[in-house]
Amino acid sequence: METGIVSYGAYVPRYRITPEEIGKVWGVDGKAMGKGLMISSKSVPGPDEDTITISVEAARNMLKRVSIDPQDIGAIYVGSESHPYAVKPSGTIVAEAIEASPELTVADFEFACKAGTAAIQTCMGLVGSGHIKYGVAIGADTSQGAPGDPLEYSASAGGAAYLIGSEKIIARIDHMYSYTTDTPDFWRREGQMYPSHGGRFTGEPAYFKHILSCAKGMLAKAGTAPKDYAHAIFHQPNGKFPTRVAKQLGFSDAQIKTGLVVPQIGNTYSGAVPIGLAAILDEAKPGERIFAVAYGSGAGSDAFDITVTDEIKDFARDKAPTVMQLIENPKFLDYAHYAKFRGKITLGRG
Amino acid sequence: MATAPRFWRQNPSRYNMVGIRCNSCGRNFFPPRAICPVCHRKSVGKMEPVKFKGEGKIYSFTEVHEGLDEKASMRPYWVAMVELDEGPKVTGQVIDCDACDLEIGTRVRAVLRKLSEEGPAGVIHYGYKFVPVKVK
Amino acid sequence: MRKVAVIGVGDTKFGELWDASFRDIGIRAGLSAVEDANISADKIDAVFVGNMSAGRFIEQEHIGALIADYSGLARDHIPATRIEAAGASGGLALRQGYMAIASGLHDIVVVGGAEKMMDVSDVASALIQSSAADQEWETELGATFPSLHALIARRHMHEFGTTREQLADVAVKNHRHGSMNPKAQFQKEITRETVIGSPMVASPLRVFDCAPSSDGAAAVVLCPMDQAKKYTETPVEIIGTGQASDTLALHHRRDIMTFDATRVAAERAFKMAGVTQKDVDVAEVHDNFTISEILAVEDLGFFKKGEGGKATSEGRTSLDGDVAVNTSGGLKARGDPIGATGLAQAVEIVAQLRGKAGKRQVKDATIGLTHNIGGTGATAVVHVFRRV
């Protein structure tokens, strides 16, 4: 049966910090850093926000746009590398908060920045095989970069939720293709607060190898060429990487423009492709084809060939904020408040 | 702060503003209660759970500077008494508002946020806070 | 019911009493009350103790037995009871003592109140005090105890035009009274600027709008009116007692700008006493926050709803005003060791009615009133006293 996206919703926290502000503290030319990364600001979660509250916001926005009975949701998967608990799933709280409990399955996913798309694939399987009516796949993160590390300029917070089903599909997922190897470009050991990474190793052998291989594999599987797609989105850890990989594959700047949100909100990790895809769906028209390739360190890529259907004309998109509306009223922080909010200042109590 | 079972028990009300209506007199209450304070025993068996929309207006508010230590990272923060559209009043924090935004009568809606945690190794408590509704 | 008299009073100084333990202060106050009443230990029939939260402040429950033990009365196996109603613990203990005598069950009872608040950190203390409010639906959601009173203040200002200056005048007056009370925690006068310039606690309430935390204890000795002259030349009769409850959470009240519990407790006490507000010369009311005194003088019926602030600024609650309110300095300046406050109020009124209030004496004080609140008005207790 046809399976795909029935609804979607996103959420980005209001707070921001600029690369200049971060650079000031570490004696780095933050402005130049930002220019190099093509990031002018990144989102910062408030002290009372985390991957769970972001997931709930995104899921509630997703549900506002359709009128389904949340009890018909058969699965919820939250993909993140910043789950609030190492053990105890984020998804159960999301399930209760959207009143999908108790007849459903829940699990948390982790695969660096592509945990959300892995969740989409899993929901596609459960729905497509007829086991459940609707699945909810969420990619959300409140990622951290170590103080003074280059990742500090880009690691940000946000998420998006996807309702996967087989009825009233607004965007059909026609093909899925993935490319996975064991490549230790970026990791975090249990108990460590901040991730570690291989510097330039995260580029060519990691991000580029996997996205290029995956994208080429998808184009071959779907029998398409870049020009067949109205929109494309590639994982966006900064603005430079997706722009370069798009060019290498033969996609134009115009095709990736709508989904490229990293310049304003930074790298939302598991939220990156889901939020970018949401930004595209906010504007997509019936018949338009979307090429989406996520990347997660460790490493792997998930690709999706998506076609927007006529159903999107009746879709109540206005019932929840679009990605542009979500990011239009930011509140800028200085480094001290950013560090306080992110728990980077130890409070010195047992 | 509340222990896990004590907090968990109230999750439907904390996550989704589930209150109760007395079908004997039609009054709404939050949080849920066993007996209607007006109908007393006549209400037994007639109390029905009801989910409030979480929308209402500010009845009074204050900016808290000396908070409970849990909330140290949020100081100062706003607390309001909110009159829900369905009638009951509740107490909660107001977030996402700029310093001078709030007035008696400002419309707000409920969102889910972290309320507290039982220490860095303990259970995290989630519940409602309010954000001002932007009048279009 | 028998008539009841106060035949002795005693209290400790209120403040940061670092050298004294809870047991020390409890006994000190009780002992001085018993000495004032000139009775011997074997005459005491029962002990009632008001205490809000020894369990959390000093990790000790079972306060009734503790006080009886350390007073040396445990060998007499005296009935000892602890009463708790947050800030109204002391006032409720007084009422329980009254009932024990009025009913004929006991002849001489000692009623005390004590709280040792300084042995925990400020942060812990704030958390303990917030348990007077609704833990699940106010405190858990982020409301501190002062912030709840701030909600009241803002609405009161919105509805009645009560001003920041009027709130300040409550504190100024009470510090002025406190400067004449050697037992008060704060004995320096302050100005409006002191209040309005102090750090914000929860807008609009600032540090000087809030009573302090304190250590302290106070006690009274009660006996049937017809036995009183055996013990003292200057007994004071309790002619009325009224108690009332209301919803625990402020947001469940009929009207957050009125403490209905105060209103009803006062009605009951006045009815029983056979006097009205006009007859009251001196009153100790529950001013844990400046707004609370404004509500108190309105809800007790001394002034119309909404006019408490104006009346304060016009001096109508000062020593020479229509009714002298909080001549001891109130909770604000005399101090507020929570469980002791209700009894400290009684100690002040008895002193006033006996003509023993020194520089802060109200001339010809004949009828006095105490008003003690628990939480944000979920419990209220009012007593009316008459000079004999």
Q: What does the pLDDT look like over B41-71, one tens digit per residue?
A: 999 999 999 999 999 999 999 999 997 877 6
The pair of three-digit structure tokens given for residue A231, joined into one six-digit string = 């929109």
- Higher-confidence position of B101 and A301: A301
Q: Taking 50 as the threshold, does the pLDDT of residue C71 lie above it?
A: yes
State the chains in contact with C (3 or more Cβ–Cβ pairs under 8 Å).
Answer: B
The percentage of residues in chain B with a pLDDT greater than 90, rounded to a whole number, is: 77
Return the number of CB contacts < 8 Å for B and C. 109
- Predicted confidence at residue A350, as pLDDT, reads 47
Flag whether residue A344 sits within 8 Å of chain B, measured between CB atoms: no
Tell me the β-bridge partners of C124: none
Helix (H) or strand (E) holding A222: helix A209-222
Task: Give yes or no for a contact between C299 and C266, defined as CB atoms under 8 angstroms apart.
Answer: yes
Q: Give CA angle at C268 (C267, C269), nearest 5°.
A: 95
Q: Give CA angle at C83 (C210, C70), nearest 5°.
A: 100
- Tell me the average pLDDT across C179-202: 97
pLDDT category, B99, cuts 50, 70, 90?
Answer: low
A61: closest chain B residue by CA: B111
Q: Which residues of B touch C199 (CB under 8 A)?
A: 65
- Tell me how far apart the alpha carbons of residues C297 and C304 are, in angstroms, rounded to a whole number: 9
Interface mutation target, options C140, C260, C291, chain B, most CBs of B under 10 Å: C140
Q: Which amino acid is at C21?
A: S
Contact call for C251 and B92, based on CB within 8 A: no
Per-residue pLDDT of C309-352, as tens digits, reads 999 999 999 999 999 999 999 999 999 999 999 999 999 999 99
Q: Taking 80 as the threshold, does the pLDDT of residue B98 lie above it?
A: no
Instruction: Look at residue C50 and give its three-state secondary structure.
Output: strand
Task: Give yes or no for a contact between B95 and C180, defined as CB atoms under 8 angstroms apart.
Answer: no
Cα→Cα distances B48→A300, B15, B18, B43, B90, Å: 50, 18, 10, 10, 19
Task: Give yes or no for a contact between C367 and C384, defined as CB atoms under 8 angstroms apart.
Answer: yes
**Sequence-ordered strand ranges (E) for chain C:** 4-11, 46-50, 80-83, 109-116, 200-202, 205-206, 215-224, 236-245, 282-284, 324-325, 367-374, 379-387
Burial label for A204, CB within 10 Å (0-12, 13-18, 19+), is exposed
Flag whether residue B67 sits within 8 Å of chain C, measured between CB atoms: yes
Distance from CA of B98 to the nearest CA of C (A): 15
The pair of three-digit structure tokens given for residue B16, joined into one six-digit string = 């989704």
- Tell me how far apart the alpha carbons of residues C367 and C349 are, in angstroms, rounded to a whole number: 9
Flag whether residue A191 sits within 8 Å of chain B, measured between CB atoms: no
What does the DSSP 8-state code read for residue A282?
T
Task: Give yes or no for a contact between A42 and A13, defined as CB atoms under 8 angstroms apart.
Answer: no
DSSP for C82-111, written as a single string? EE-BTBTHHHHHHHHHHHHHHTTS-S-EEE
Flag whether residue B89 sits within 8 Å of chain C, measured between CB atoms: yes
- Residue C76: count of CB within 10 angstroms of its CB: 12
Cis peptide before B32, with omega less than 30 degrees from 0? no
- Tell me how far apart the alpha carbons of residues C251 and C264 are, in angstroms, rounded to a whole number: 19
Cα→Cα distances B89→B83, C250, C278, Å: 4, 9, 36
The pair of three-digit structure tokens given for residue A40, joined into one six-digit string = 């002018």
* A81 is a catalytic site residue: yes
Q: Taking 50 as the threshold, does the pLDDT of residue C365 lie above it?
A: yes
- Predicted confidence at residue B100, as pLDDT, reads 58
Distance from CA of B45 to the nearest CA of C (A): 22
- Tell me how far apart the alpha carbons of residues A276 and A266 are, in angstroms, rounded to a whole number: 11
- Predicted confidence at residue C159, as pLDDT, reads 98
* A235 is a catalytic site residue: yes
Of A181, A154, A298, A303, nearest in space to A234 by CA: A303
* A83 is a catalytic site residue: no
Q: Give CA angle at A173 (A185, A66), nearest 5°.
A: 110
User: Which residues 332-371 of chain C have a CB within 8 Å of chain B?
Assistant: none
- Tell me the average pLDDT across C212-239: 97
Q: Taking 70 as the threshold, does the pLDDT of residue C266 lie above it?
A: yes
Flag whether residue B133 sits within 8 Å of chain A, measured between CB atoms: no
Cα→Cα distances B78→A210, A257, B99, C292, Å: 47, 39, 9, 21
Q: Taking 70 as the threshold, does the pLDDT of residue C110 lie above it?
A: yes
Distance from CA of B101 to the nearest CA of A (A): 14
Mean pLDDT for chain C overall: 97
- Tell me how far apart the alpha carbons of residues A18 and B68 are, in angstroms, rounded to a whole number: 31
Cis peptide before A237, with omega less than 30 degrees from 0? no
B18-22: strand order across its sheet: B28-29, B18-22, B47-51
- Predicted confidence at residue A71, as pLDDT, reads 98
Contact call for B114 and A99, based on CB within 8 A: no
User: Which residues 98-137 of chain A have a CB within 8 Å of chain B?
Assistant: 99
Burial label for C363, CB within 10 Å (0-12, 13-18, 19+), is exposed
The percentage of residues in chain C with a pLDDT greater than 90, rounded to a whole number, is: 98
DSSP for C175-202, written as a single string? HHHHTT-TT-S--S---HHHHHTSPEEE
Q: Taking 50 as the threshold, does the pLDDT of residue C267 lie above it?
A: yes
**Residue ranges for chain A with pLDDT beneath 70:** 348-350
Closest in B60, B66, B93 to C141, CB measured: B93
- Tell me how far apart the alpha carbons of residues A278 and C216 are, in angstroms, rounded to a whole number: 63
Which residue among the candidates A57, A83, A235, A288 is catalytic per the annotation? A235
Q: Taking 70 as the threshold, does the pLDDT of residue C297 lie above it?
A: yes
The percentage of residues in chain B with a pLDDT greater than 70, rounded to a whole number, is: 93
Flag whether residue A277 sits within 8 Å of chain B, measured between CB atoms: no
Q: Which residues of C touch B31 (CB under 8 A)?
A: 136-137
- Predicted confidence at residue A343, as pLDDT, reads 87
Q: Locate tokens 């002040």: which residue? A: C348
Residue A195 φ/ψ, nearest 5 degrees: -75, 165
Per the rule left: phi > 0, alpha: psi between -120 and 50, beta: everything else, C110 is beta
- Predicted confidence at residue B119, as pLDDT, reads 84
Task: Give yes or no for a contact between A278 and A117, defined as CB atoms under 8 angstroms apart.
Answer: no
Flag whether residue B104 sits within 8 Å of chain C, measured between CB atoms: yes
B93: closest chain A residue by CA: A48
- Residue C367: count of CB within 10 angstroms of its CB: 23
- Predicted confidence at residue A57, as pLDDT, reads 98
Contact call for B64 and C204, based on CB within 8 A: no
- Predicted confidence at residue A246, as pLDDT, reads 98
Q: Which residues of A touch B12 (CB under 8 A)?
A: 96
Per the rule left: phi > 0, alpha: psi between -120 and 50, beta: everything else, C315 is left
- Tell me how far apart the alpha carbons of residues A254 and C173 are, in angstroms, rounded to a whole number: 72
- Predicted confidence at residue B73, as pLDDT, reads 72
- Predicted confidence at residue B1, as pLDDT, reads 66
- Tell me the average pLDDT across C278-303: 98
Which residue among the candidates A49, A57, A81, A152 is catalytic per the annotation? A81
Q: Taking 50 as the threshold, does the pLDDT of residue B37 lie above it?
A: yes
- Tell me how far apart the alpha carbons of residues C141 and B17 are, in angstroms, rounded to a whole number: 13
Q: Give CA angle at C333 (C328, C335), nearest 5°.
A: 90
- Predicted confidence at residue B3, as pLDDT, reads 82
- Tell me the average pLDDT across C61-83: 94
Q: Could you give the residue ranges of the DSSP H alpha helices within A38-111?
A: 51-64, 90-97
Q: Taking 80 as the threshold, does the pLDDT of residue C381 lie above it?
A: yes
Contact call for B79 and C142, based on CB within 8 A: yes
- Predicted confidence at residue A1, as pLDDT, reads 85
- Tell me how far apart the alpha carbons of residues B22 and C134 are, in angstroms, rounded to a whole number: 22
Flag whether residue C143 sits within 8 Å of chain B, measured between CB atoms: yes
Q: Which amino acid is at C143?
A: A
Closest in B96, B98, B114 to A53, CB measured: B114
- Predicted confidence at residue A345, as pLDDT, reads 85
**Sequence-ordered strand ranges (E) for chain B:** 18-22, 28-29, 47-51, 55-64, 77-84, 89-94, 107-117, 124-132
Instruction: Look at residue A157 and give its three-state secondary structure.
Output: strand
Residues sharing a CB contact under 8 Å with residue A67, sequence separation 6 or more, in sequence order: none
- Predicted confidence at residue A346, as pLDDT, reads 77
Helix (H) or strand (E) holding C348: helix C338-353
